[in-house]
Structure 1
């Protein structure tokens, strides 16, 4: 994971929330909170039965997560659209990273398990949700690289579709940063290389009409609470778009750096083409 990305462009003007904006934020926030934490309680109850029966595999609870994330965009009033065919074969998904909303968007379309930095596990609220939904936490410690690679193997061999953001940080949504190849190394072990595929995904945010194109981007030292309220309060929300590109076989690439470069190119091209459309 990398340090937080920051823009060299001046920040957008502060978003002004009027009276009705605060009313919308309060109503949407209340309903969203009930949905998310109600779903969390249901997931934990079901997991009490699922865990002893199926162990590492989770044949039921991911459907709860997917329902919650799909419903979240209805509550936010945001448009949601996707294109491309979902990968069926064993493997992982990689995507560019623009906002905390990415987690809802990518879970809404496909049942996946996120790979996240270990610090997230301790975040109030978000950390609980991440642990409950099966997020795989990794540390920035080279001494634990082998141990974490073995953990990747166990999860992938159990049939989990792991999803990570190779940029290592979120952006303003207007660009794709260079992909880091470190996490791709786990796919090249002798037990995984010949059976895994990787599917690149472009995540694009189309801002509400009349607002900055960077409206949904979350980067630098932005506070989560402020960004959340802005997202809840906007009168006519924008749209999130996902483009699922054709998956590629790990065995067709000589090493992790070439695979990472290919995925970056595909995601970058899809992202740029979507932003260029009217």
Structure 2
């Protein structure tokens, strides 16, 4: 089903291309020459402008970790999650290896220094090693721990295998793990119910192009991001307990958001 304004969609698509195409070579040079401040913070500026173009208004609850490195662990609703989270923090993402071969979006992922991993069981150890190398370098990473995207109504069980990287240490200290919740709660100020969440959530066998077009054509979207208290492997004992703690924390806040109970969330972040 098509929704929204085609005129708005064409304008947004034009502005998105106008902004994105010049940024890509600049980020490429920054990564190639290893200009760390530029390749970390240019994506933040880029994604903030993209969110503005797409009409995504972000509300942040709780305080994101400023410890370096931090592994941010949370749920996954849509490709929009990358835009939203990257507009808040200078992070790279952990993604399945297939993303690297996607036309255009694979290039964007590489430019943001995404860690690509194989989902096969026998490749999990190699994936953990790749994550650990980036943490050792002081990079903040985002792990969508469900291993896929959900429907925005409930959180799928978290996979503990990749959290094994957090059993290692950055220097003498355990790597901080901060759970986060992301949800899309309102469209043009009206709360989004179960039937309308697929307008934002991209999951299952949905085709990407029609979903992208609907997103371009829609009105103003309220994206909610909740940063919960950080934990680490030493405090919780092992990766399975760490994974379960993050899952329960994220699930509770997703339920609160879907019920409109924002008083159950951490205080809003300072502007």
Shorter-chain TM-score tier: 0.7 to 0.9
SS in 2 for 1:35: helix
> Cα RMSD between the aligned structures?
1.9
Question: For 1:2-151, what aligned pairs fall within 5 Å after superposition?
Answer: 14-16=1-3, 21-49=5-33, 51=34, 58-89=36-67, 90-151=69-130
Give the unaligned 5+ runs of structure 2. Answer: 262-271
**C-alpha contact (below 8 Å) 2:185/2:257 kept by paired residues:** no
**How far has the Cα of 1:233 moved from its partner?**
0.8
Paired position in structure 2 for 1:247:
230
1:231/1:159 CA distance change after superposition, 3 Å: same
Distance in structure 2 (CA, Å) of the matches to 1:277 and 1:16: 24
Question: For residues 258 and 43 of structure 2, what CA distance do their matches in structure 1 show?
Answer: 29
Give the match's secondary structure for 2:87: helix
Contact 1:193–1:251, Cα closer than 8 Å, also in 2:
no
TM-score when normalising by structure 2 = 0.88
Per-residue CA deviation, residues 62-120 of structure 1 (Å, 9 max, x unaligned), is: 21101111111111122211121111223200110011100001111111110000011
1:143 & 1:169 partners in 2: Cα distance?
A: 19
**Partner SS state of residue 248, structure 1:** coil
Question: Quick one: distance in 2 between partners of 1:190 and 1:31?
Answer: 43
Deviation of residue 46 (structure 1)?
2.5
CA distance in 2, matches of 1:29, 1:121: 23
Which residue in 2 is equivalent to 1:220? 204
1:227-266 alignment runs, 5 A limit = 227-234=211-218, 236-266=219-249
Contact 1:167/1:179, CA 8 A, preserved across alignment = yes
Query: Runs of 5+ in structure 1 lacking a partner?
Result: 1-13
Change (3 A) 1:192 1:182: farther
Moved over 2 A (4+): 45-49, 140-150, 189-195, 209-213
The count of corresponding residues between Structure 1 and Structure 2 is 255
In structure 2, do the counterparts of structure 1 residues 112 and 231 end up closer, same or farther at CA, with 3 Å as the change threshold?
same
Tell me, in whole angstroms, the C-alpha distance in 2 between the residues paired with 1:34 and 1:250.
44
Matched, 1:271 2:254: yes
1:15 offset after TM fit, Å? 2.5
